[in-house]
Amino acid sequence: MNQSIATFAGGCFWCTEAVFLQLKGVESVVSGYIGGRVENPTYQQICTGTTGHAEAIQIIFDEDLIAFGTLLEVFFATHNPTTLNRQGADVGTQYRSEIFYHSDSQKLLAEAYILQLVEAKVFDSPIVTQLSPVTAFYPAESYHQNYYQQNKEQSYCHYVITPKMNKLSESFTTLLK
């Protein structure tokens, strides 16, 4: 097994966690907070937008089964990387699009993939996804973990996450568990 870590912020962590938990080679996904100034922040603090943290996920994956480049492909296909500090109705710096790289290799792969998307004109607006070295990652409170699976009937899940899950199953069938 060739275990690696990837850390992505792509808006609400409930959405990104639900998506990546479905992929073959992904061993675990933890929702949490990264990139801010407060140690051990709480969800209530994050929601103010004043801590500097992003809602993010930390993915443990087996590189023998799924490549970091494939994770990037899914990341960019399942959130909007062109809206600054926003994903749909979720607005604030905590909802920014950011990749926290764990190695120079991850940084180079992310830069190359973003350039590929730009050159192919995949999006109508400029990509605003930031690339930053990984910093302290703080797991979110336990009720945020595996949120979608436990709350599928909740309106936010039904109207926001379920369409992402449908897109995932249509576009990435061969990657699903």
pLDDT average, residue stretch 94-109: 97
pTM of the model: 0.95
Measured CA to CA in angstroms, residue 128 lies from 2, 10, 86, 164, 170 at distances of: 31, 11, 11, 20, 26
pLDDT band at 141 (very low <50, low <70, confident <90, very high): very high
Measured CA to CA in angstroms, residue 163 lies from 49, 119, 151, 169, 173 at distances of: 26, 27, 15, 10, 15
The pLDDT tens digits for 67-100 are 999 999 999 999 999 999 998 888 999 999 999 9
Read out DSSP for 101-135? ESSHHHHHHHHHHHHHHHHTT-SSS----EEEE--
Flag whether pLDDT at 38 surpasses 90.
yes
* Active-site residue identified among 12, 15, 47, 157: 12
Residue 23 has what DSSP assignment? Answer: B
47 is catalytic: no
Q: What is the pLDDT of residue 21?
A: 97
pLDDT average, residue stretch 103-132: 97
Q: What whole-number percentage of the chain has pLDDT above 90?
A: 90
